[in-house]
Every structure is written in C-alpha cells, then in structure tokens.
Amino acid sequence: MAASPLATGDTGMLDPGGWEFTAFVASQKRDSIESYTAPVVEAVYGSSANTTVTVAAARQVLDEPDAGPRSGWGNASAELKWRFFNSDGKALAFAPSYSHPLSHSATIRGLLEDVSILRLPLIASIERGDWILTGQVAYNITSDSFNSIGYGVWAGYSWTDSMLLLAEIYGEEISGDNGTGGVTNWRLGFEYGIGDSAAILFSGGSRLRSDLPHAEQLDTEFFFGFRWETD
C-alpha cells in the first residue's frame, strides 16, 4: 500500500497527528478482461514521527468481452509502516499489510478471489539532491496455496518544485501447489503538487515479461488520483 501512483512503497512519514487522504481509480486491461478499482479511498494517520497507520477500501469493476460490466465491493486493507532507520538521506522501513475481500457476495459473483493476503515488505530509500531511489522486497502469504516474493524499484526526479517525475519496475514471483511463475511490469508517472497540501497523481504502464497465459497477460494499466493532507 502506498498513497502514490506506483506499486512499490516508500519510506516517507507524516507529521505526528497528521492525516493524508487519497482517492483514486486504477485499471488493468488484458485480452480476457478489463478490471477497475474505482473508486479507492485511502486514509493515512501519522501515529508517531516514525510510524503511520493506513486503511483503504475499494469498489471493483470487471468488464468481460462476452458478459459486460459488473461491479461490487473489492478489498479492504490495513497497513502499519515503521521507519526504523533514517539518516543522511537514507532510510529503511518495514510495512506489513493485510487485505481481505469486503463482501462475500463479490467473491461468489467472481469479482475478486476469496483470498486474504499478508504482505511483509522491507523498503529502502536514498535521496541525493533532486533524486530519490527506492527499492522494496516483500514476502506475500496468501490464504490459498500460493505465496510469492514481490519486488520493485522506482526513481523520482524533482523536475520543478511542484512536479515529481517517476519511473518504476516491479514484479512478483509466485510459487504454489500448481507450479511457479512470475511477472515483471513497468510504470511511468508523476505527482503534481497543488499548494502545500494536495497533489494530482498519475501513472501508466505495461508488462516487461509474464509467465501467465497470453490472454491473462497485462496489456496496459493506468492510475489517476488526488491526495490531500491535513494537520
């Protein structure tokens, strides 16, 4: 979980007692289906100088070529992020999160899988001048027979005081009773600040490699959101 247009997390913190809210839509297109999480609402609370608590809830929309669109509740999730090292532009954070379907009927209707996921990511970042580089590796434990290793790295460049340009490579390697496989994707995006407390978020991307059947491979994905902070 991250209030940004990227899949990989970050080591950033809020001021203690501060709130951050993000509303966004995200889509993924494959030959077999188009899926949307629209809208997603995320709230982050700065519980201390080095910890944040995040909760999020989503609506899920699926559009299949022969069946048409259908929608319902998606997943709810919660995260606790602890930044345990922060010195000279370098930081490390541990950010376990848990997600679970909000509605049993949505899983019965095939809107999403009836799977809970515990993610255990370690995040590292380094800042130098106008650049920031962040990497993440995570062990993901699911309630079915598949577990995975997730990974990602992104670079950000402050083009202006308001515009942060972003580039990311991320993926997942899966192992389970039915075999192994993986995917690697890319994203390009930006964060555009509005005043001191708001930002527009955008990204788009596609696959670099995929072991999935061709019809299930990612063609394109998009993210568009709005974020604002309060003291």
| Location of structure tokens 């993440």 | 136
The whole-angstrom separation of Cα 49 and Cα 83 is 9
The whole-angstrom separation of Cα 118 and Cα 121 is 10
Which pLDDT score, from 0 to 100, does residue 114 have? 85
Which pLDDT score, from 0 to 100, does residue 82 have? 98
Residues of the chain with pLDDT under 70: 1-3, 176-179
Which pLDDT score, from 0 to 100, does residue 222 have? 96
Is 185:207 a contact under the CB 8 Å cutoff?
yes
Domain 19-230 has CATH 2.40.160.40: yes
| Location of structure tokens 């390697």 | 173
Domain boundary assignment for the chain: 19-230
Query: What is the per-residue pLDDT across 89-127, written as a single tens digit (0 to 9) for each?
Result: 999 999 999 999 988 777 777 778 888 999 999 999 999
- Answering whether pTM is above 0.85, one says yes
Both tokens of 170, joined, read 């991320």
Q: Which residues contact 149 (CB under 8 A, 6 or more apart)?
A: 137, 138, 139, 140, 172, 173
How distant, in Å, are the alpha carbons of 65, 132, 134 from that of 10?
36, 10, 7
Which pLDDT score, from 0 to 100, does residue 176 have? 65
DSSP per-residue codes, 120-183: EEEEEEEEETTEEEEEEEEEEEESSSEEEEEEEEEEEEESSSSEEEEEEEEEEEEEETTEEEEE
Both tokens of 192, joined, read 């555009």
Quote the mean pLDDT of the chain: 92
How distant, in Å, are the alpha carbons of 41, 68, 113, 146, 186 from that of 103?
16, 21, 11, 22, 31
